[in-house]
Chain A
């Protein structure tokens, strides 16, 4: 029981430490600031925000034909 507990403990502590480190680094690098910009970062500058990027969703050429 001692060895498995130890191994699991080491893995859990390592993962927890890495997670805490990642959290701290993420916070200190400003990733949690300006969520508006972060949410929009998914779109390239050539992609319109506020409109579906699928022309078939915006303006199906033939509604009956494009339904799936």
Chain B
């Protein structure tokens, strides 16, 4: 069978006329999404590269404090929060919006009608990020972790997200009749949860700051929920869409996916307080959070069973599909980071790992090895469909994947190990503090090595993206676009 025979594959329930109509509808959906979603995805990659450079600077400063120390804009206290916010709002959120809207549009079977307001939203979102990053680097940080962007950046972000939500609701309202697929639940939930979280936390911590003792619980309620109720639902929605689509096999158990989604929806919001174990807060608050964290085993196990059992018999396909490779890496990391998170919330382990580099490694396992890798895979899947052209170079995709995969593995393993040793030592009263600090330096250097590899991968990704956008030649033989279209063929990929 050749690629051009694709629509003649056995087992199809549609007539040739219906097949043409469906291909045409997907083409219209992708063309309507081309500009707004393309701007979100393209700009997210620029933020990814900037965030990586800021991360590298912060990482090197941890073992070489003199590095870039003479410029006040590049001191650790500014570079580190700039990195965090750039990757959270510039990279992950920007990519998440683009990916979420495109998948929603495809699953609902309707084109984005609000492409002008959505393009404006993309512009506003990026202005908000530019203003926020500039504000942090010039010394205007709010000093509230995960919300360091100064107050004057928030209106851009909130206004932009209002347009995004209006588009998402419009797509859902116009959806074709029938089942709402689990990815639609996850993505819509993410689009509703983020503004609620941001509005509440920004209001209580930045605009009208409450008394100091009340701030950390709100802060960690927000920071943890951004991961679990924004990045996670968008990424899981993408995984539930991409794996079945690529391998042509429905998910292993739809029942489990329903249990997974609703248990996340009902229990996740309680998780954040486990960051305050040992703090001066009511015991019930912390204990409820520890219990909720352990209960996260339920959604995680359901998702893990679904993702991994769906892939059984198809692992050989990882050799040929870049999307599948990134997404499966991300799905496996989700299982790992979630199990680790639940266990880390248990007091006995938390007493050792709290305030150590172990927590940083855990955060990167979630935000990078899981969410970012899934988003990379999704972008590899979406862009050829938006632009109707192939990725230009397998070599660059290879550099991106291996740079990211090896980089995050080094980062996670070395920093987790160093953090555990650091935590054990910190609990021994007789060890001088400076000795503990010095003992972490080799692990911090390994972190910079891992971060450098990831940055190389991101640069390859950016070059690949820019090359793809400016190169208009048809590249029908590459692996990422499914249909080998002939010149003049109007078919889009499935």
- Give A residues with C-beta under 8 Å from B: 1, 3-5, 7-8, 11-12, 14-16, 18-19, 23, 26, 31-32, 34-61, 65-68
Q: Which of B10, B180, B213, B265 contacts A31 (CB 8 A)?
A: B180
Q: Is the CB of B262 within 8 A of A42?
A: no
Q: Are A18 and B192 CB-contacts (below 8 A) given A3-B210, A42-B244, A48-B10? A: yes
Smallest CB–CB gap between B22 and chain A, Å? 5
Residues of A within 8 A of B11 (CB): 48-51
Tell me, yes or no, whether B241 is within 8 Å of chain A by CB.
yes
User: Judging by beta carbons under 8 Å apart, are A51 and B248 in contact?
Assistant: yes
Q: Which residues of B contact A67 (CB under 8 A)?
A: 319-320
CA distance A7 to B207 in the complex (A): 14
B177-196 vs A, CB cutoff 8 Å, 1 = contact: the mask equals: 01111110100000011001
CA distance A57 to B178 in the complex (A): 30
Least CB distance, B309 to chain A, in whole angstroms: 12
- Which residues of B sit under 8 angstroms from A15, Cβ to Cβ? 193, 196, 269
Q: Which single residue of chain B is at the shortest CB-CB distance from A61? A: B477
Chain B contacts of A46 at CB under 8 A? 7, 12, 14, 18-19, 22-23, 494
Which residues from chain B sit less than 8 Å from chain A, CB to CB? 1-3, 5-7, 9-14, 18-19, 22-23, 26, 107, 178-183, 185, 192-193, 196, 200, 203-204, 210-211, 213-214, 218, 221, 241, 244-251, 253-255, 258, 262, 265-266, 269, 314, 317, 319-322, 325, 394, 397-398, 401, 477, 479, 482-484, 494
| Residue ID in chain B nearest A48 by CB atoms | B9
Most chain-A Cβ atoms within 10 A of its Cβ — which of B5, B179, B214, B483?
Answer: B179
Given contacts A8-B204, A39-B251, contact A51 B9 (CB under 8 A): yes
Main secondary structure of the interface of B (DSSP, over half): helix
Report yes or no: A66 in contact with B320, Cβ–Cβ below 8 A.
yes
Indicate if the CB atoms of A41 and B7 lie closer than 8 Å: no
* CA A44 to CA B213, docked complex, whole Å: 54
Q: Give chain A nearest CB distance to B148 CB in angstroms.
A: 20
Q: Max chain A CB contacts within 10 Å: which of B5, B23, B107, B269?
A: B269
- Residue in B closest to A5 when the chains form the complex, CB atoms: B214
**Do A68 and B12 contact each other (CB < 8 Å), given the known contacts A35-B254, A42-B107, A49-B249?**
no
Centre residue among A35, A39, A56 by max chain B CB count within 10 A:
A39
Contacts of B221 in A (CB 8 A): 8
- What are 23 sample pairs from A and B whose C-beta atoms fall under 8 A apart? A11-B196, A23-B265, A31-B180, A35-B254, A35-B258, A38-B182, A39-B251, A43-B250, A44-B14, A45-B19, A46-B494, A48-B11, A50-B249, A52-B248, A53-B248, A55-B2, A55-B5, A58-B1, A60-B479, A61-B477, A66-B479, A68-B321, A68-B394
